[in-house]
Amino acid sequence: MVSTKSLVDEMRQVQLAIDLIMLGARLQVLETETDLSRARLIRLFKEVRGKSPPKGMLPFSTDWFITWLPNIHSSLFYAYYQRLRIQGCVRMEAFVKGYRLYAEQVAAGDEEAEPVLGLTRAWTLIRFFENDLLQLSSCTRCRGRFVAHAHTPAHGYVCGICQPPSRAGKTRQRREAEAKRA
């Protein structure tokens, strides 16, 4: 006979998997964060998304999070995540809520904008912090806290908002969109 506690736990696991799938999680994330079998996760993925989960490796470099625009987005997401953890949310609850807040904030700025930080990269970011590969550094100008490589001296750090690179924001997509509006 199945206990009520194990049934409730399994329902929580399924709901977490569904939430993650809806937000764009890859199968490897689901396998790591839930106790559900791979076969069950694949079936769930097909039910929720209407297609098989994508294949391929997960991102594995900390460097992506340090580049200009990804750094700003990563820092915003991580601030939400940290605040939720401080308020008592458990790790994955804080992760899902924090990612939703981040996605809502991006959409509030531009309804057509897609988050720079996908769910899989956000999950990888959390893992990098947990494994002491990344840290937060305070900008000496604005006092904001931004994602940086771990063990990097923080004195004299200036963020990408206060000191953007010379070609910041001049992507091909943006130029094409501006040309269409004109």
| 142 marked as part of a ligand binding site | yes
Cα separation, 35 vs 69, whole angstroms: 34
| 139 marked as part of a ligand binding site | yes
Domain map (residue ranges) of the chain: 1-57, 59-180
pLDDT tens for 159-178 read 999 998 887 666 666 666 66
Cα separation, 41 vs 43, whole angstroms: 5
How confident is the prediction for the chain on average, in pLDDT? 89
pLDDT tens for 139-152 read 999 999 999 999 98
Q: Hey, what are 44's tokens?
A: 């769930």
pTM of the complete model: 0.84
pLDDT (average), residues 26-43: 94
